A = this chain, B = another copy of it.
């Protein structure tokens, strides 16, 4: 499994992904699930992937090759006129890779499936965030639906629902995501450190912050242990129940 969250804030976009990949409990490894394409000052695109690793790496590989060979007849995501067109191109590529993997196989479609979160900004337009399905279609984040999760989404959702605010700072967004990821990692072996994050400030057209957070990161550890204590304190402060 995997856990990735993309968030649309008033200030811009925040992306965080874990790095664990597994083919069964006895075969785990670390893989990057976050990819960025940047034309500094003009556009910035970030993609996070969940699902079959061969599928998602093929998608990224195809997008990359098209990016690097401008003479290629396929449209490049670095030249597409809008984030919407980039989402279409990525969705089409994902659908093609899955269809290609499936052709001549007897296995169920689910085996090769993947889901992606993509966001970014092109100069002159607003930052946009999309959730791209294995079928190649996609939905866009909005004020009603300001963040997307993919992979192992359930454990870390309650805190996002409760604490997300569109006006929050990037620092608070990272703190919130650390809590959400820590809740997931504590409950599910298929999600694991290190974590990657990328922050794109609105209208900056570049990666504002980017880092890999390792197991020994002291701030992550503070959040992880502190959140357990904070939850217990919060729980203790709720009014007590009494039987009738």
Q: Which chain A residues have a beta carbon within 8 Å of chain B's beta carbons? A: 154-155, 157-159, 161-163, 170-172, 174-176, 178-179, 183, 186-187, 209, 211, 219, 222-223, 226-228, 230-235, 237-244
Q: What distance in Å separates the Cβ of A149 from its nearest Cβ neighbour in chain B?
A: 11
CB-based closest 9 A-B pairs: A154-B154, A230-B234, A234-B234, A158-B183, A171-B241, A175-B241, A174-B241, A162-B231, A163-B235
A178 to B244, CA, bound (A): 16
* CB-defined contacts of A178 to chain B, threshold 8 Å: 241
Report the separation of the CA atoms of residues A60 and B211 in the bound assembly, to the nearest whole angstrom: 55
Interface of A is mostly: helix
A232 touches B163 (CB 8 A): yes
A161, B187: Cα distance in complex, Å:
8
**Within the complex, which residue of B219, B226, B233, B238 is in contact with A175, where a contact is CB–CB below 8 Å?**
B238
A25 to chain B, nearest CB (A): 18
Interchain CB contact (< 8 A) of A158 among B163, B187, B219: B187
Considering the complex, give the chain B residue whose CB is closest to the CB of A219.
Answer: B241
Establish whether residues A238 and B231, one from each chain, have CB atoms under 8 Å apart when the complex forms. Answer: no
The contact sample of 21 A-B pairs, CB cut-off 8 A, is A155-B155, A155-B157, A158-B158, A162-B231, A163-B231, A170-B243, A171-B240, A171-B242, A171-B243, A175-B235, A175-B241, A176-B235, A209-B243, A222-B239, A226-B239, A227-B234, A230-B237, A230-B238, A231-B231, A233-B234, A234-B234
